[in-house]
A and B are shown apart, each in its own frame.
Chain A
Amino acid sequence: MKVYFDHNATTPLHPEVKKEMIEAMEMFGNPSSMHSWGREARANVEDARGKVAAFIGADEREIVFVGSGSEANNTVLSLFVCASSQCIPGGKLRGTIITTKIEHPCVLETSECLAHRGARVKYLDVDQYGKIDLDQLAGMLGDDVGLVSVMMANNEIGTLQDIETITKMVHESGAFMHTDAVQAVGKMPVDVRKLGVDFLTLSAHKMYGPKGVGALFVKKGIPYCPLIRGGHQEFGRRAGTENTLGILGMGRAVEMRTLEMQEEEERLLHLKQVLRRGIEERIDDIHVNGHPTDALASTLNVSFMGVEGESILLYLDLQGIAVSTGSACASGSLDPSHVLLATGVNAELAHGSIRFSMGRESSMQEVEYLLDVLPPIIQRIRNMSTAYIKGGLHAASR
């Protein structure tokens, strides 16, 4: 049996998306060309723009197609070190950026880079469930703060933030609000007007669309500075000939999400509860990471005491099951998941964490298969581990 429980890493193409992309494979015209080839491509790009805009409650002119979620996040953050009056009315935005300790590396590393380029960056802590503290945010906000960037749903532990409330606080202080919603859009309803945000990042391949295409929502009238220059594409907001086929695929992907998402969310939540209960009943000395209720329906993150995550991942892979881990060993560094460490989990438990992320094709049979296969694997690794003491989790220094 093959079980793909790594949907937060990426998703397979929806069959409808695949079909539409294959049919469009011969469309090669440049959307900027005035002839019929160009006009055909332009029509498809604009059709997709309309679908993506509608999916998140935005206006078409507020959607900028980009190459990835990472690019969208880089674009937003970089805006705040731009000092050109051509981009920014008045020449400069407030230079302090607030973000969180659990963002995706594309936000954290860009923030670090901006700090070297003169921005001031402050990092919000999270509690044991991965939620930011609104009081800490209130204390950080001030008339020096230009941007607050808080991810909507965390990719590793699935914890959701209250973006609507955060945005209100941010706007009261006169700053702009960005949310990296790559893991949220397509898994739960997201409406930019309801959230009130100024910028929102989304990505096609996390919701059964193709890789290499994402979108940035930029609210009308907000200052903007392109990250990639040299062309008039995307209303001058992102140079480079459009990824026409990818954009078309993204449009179809959000259309399919509109039809499938709601029913699927309830189903996945049920599967997650069964998976969580099954693991709790069959395996001792585990710790469930993330928020118990305010979290993505599809994502379950569990730490197994005395076991290193990469070995779990590879033993599961041998049984045809795909998951991911917050262990350092799998990532090629020696530091385990920054997200788990930020929630106060100790390094050992962070090294022993496994993320199960389900998706539209995940089934009860797959959950049951996983529940059969996992306990003997954990038992086997613990038998050869120097670090496992039965019942030792509560004794471990947490």
Chain B
Amino acid sequence: MLQAGEWAYSDTLKEHFMNPKNILQGENTDDFDGVGMEGNLQCGDQMMVVIKVDKEKETITDCQWKTYGCASAIASTSVLSEMVKGRTLDAAFHISPKEVALELGGLPDHKIHCSVLGDKALRSAINNYYTRNGQEEKVKQEQVKVICQCMSITDHDIEDAVLEGARTYFELQERTKLGTVCGQCKDEAELLLEKFKHIHFGA
């Protein structure tokens, strides 16, 4: 329940929106080792993430960004850029939208879709680094990930269900039987549902 005069956003999100960290100054990305861009202007969100990499340790030493989007989009890229510093490329690659949302102190439901592009842009920056450094074998496609352990439903299954018409968690369950046993995967499945709805239907 919102208190009078309060924003729909957490204090952490508000702070990152008011004072975003690590904004890329200017257009030049030559100094960076990897560049990734995701999203499009039609949907109202676009994010670019650039990284500097310690080539020996394979860790991220600097992460900067630009974002076209709403307050949650700006804040989630800002918080992401802080989260990845010092992480190995492999660890950074596996940051999920859920972790970003958690770090922000939560997001309103209808804003989750605004935060899924940052980690995606980061992954594409990491892949870009691998490509530039002759390590194509390390370029990772979005991997298959089991979301619902009980029913063994993967992110690809969720994507297929969305493409076949599922729009709500209930419809997703109807098609895949996901989350019908222990129910622990609900949050992650809903994030993916929103993400795939956004990617494929801009909805």
Binding site for B on A (CB under 8 A): 306-308, 310-311, 314, 318, 327-330, 332, 334-336, 347-348, 351, 383-388
Contact = CB atoms under 8 A, between A and B. Distances in A.
A306 B46 CA distance: 10
Nearest to B69: A308
Contact of A334 (B24, B48, B113): B113
Contacts of A385: 66-68
A386 B202 contact: no
A383 B44 contact: no
A387 B68 CA distance: 6
Contact of B44 (A314, A332, A347, A388): A347
Contacts of A348: 41-42
B116 interface: no
Given A383-B23, A384-B20, A384-B23, A334 B68 contact: no
Contacts of B17: 311, 314
Nearest to B203: A334
B32 to A, nearest CB: 15
A347 B42 contact: yes
B66 A308 contact: no
Contacts of B43: 328, 334, 347
A75 to B, nearest CB: 31
A314 B202 CA distance: 23
A332 B67 CA distance: 19
A308 B66 CA distance: 13
B70 A310 contact: yes
Contacts of B74: 311, 384
B41 A387 contact: yes
Contact of B70 (A306, A329, A335, A384): A329
A310 B13 CA distance: 14
Among A314, A327, A334, which residue has the most Cβ atoms of chain B within 10 A?
A: A334
A381 to B, nearest CB: 8
Contacts of A318: 18
A389 to B, nearest CB: 9
Contacts of B202: 334-335
Contacts of A311: 17, 69-71, 74
Grouping DSSP codes into helix (H, G, I), strand (E, B) and loop, the A interface class, with mixed when no group exceeds half, is loop
B110 interface: yes
Contacts of A388: 68
Contacts of B65: 384
A122 B114 CA distance: 35
B151 to A, nearest CB: 29
11 contacts: A306-B68, A310-B70, A327-B44, A329-B73, A334-B44, A336-B44, A383-B23, A384-B66, A385-B66, A386-B66, A387-B41
B41 A351 contact: yes
A347 B70 contact: no
A327 B198 contact: no
Nearest to B44: A351
A337 to B, nearest CB: 11
A335 B44 CA distance: 9
Given A310-B71, A318-B18, A384-B23, 8 more contacts: A311-B71, A314-B71, A329-B73, A329-B111, A330-B70, A334-B203, A387-B68, A388-B68
B44 A328 contact: yes
A383 B47 CA distance: 13
Contact of B67 (A327, A334, A351, A386): A386
A306 B69 CA distance: 9
Would you list the 10 A-B pairs with minimal beta carbon distance, nearest first? Answer: A329-B70, A310-B70, A387-B68, A348-B41, A332-B110, A351-B44, A347-B42, A386-B66, A385-B68, A384-B23
Contacts of A351: 41, 44
Interface string B1-14: 00000010000000
A325 B74 CA distance: 17
A49 B111 CA distance: 44
A384 B67 CA distance: 6
A306 B65 CA distance: 15
Given A314-B71, A334-B203, A384-B66, A308 B23 contact: no
A330 B69 CA distance: 11
B110 A308 contact: no
Contacts of B70: 308, 310-311, 327, 329-330
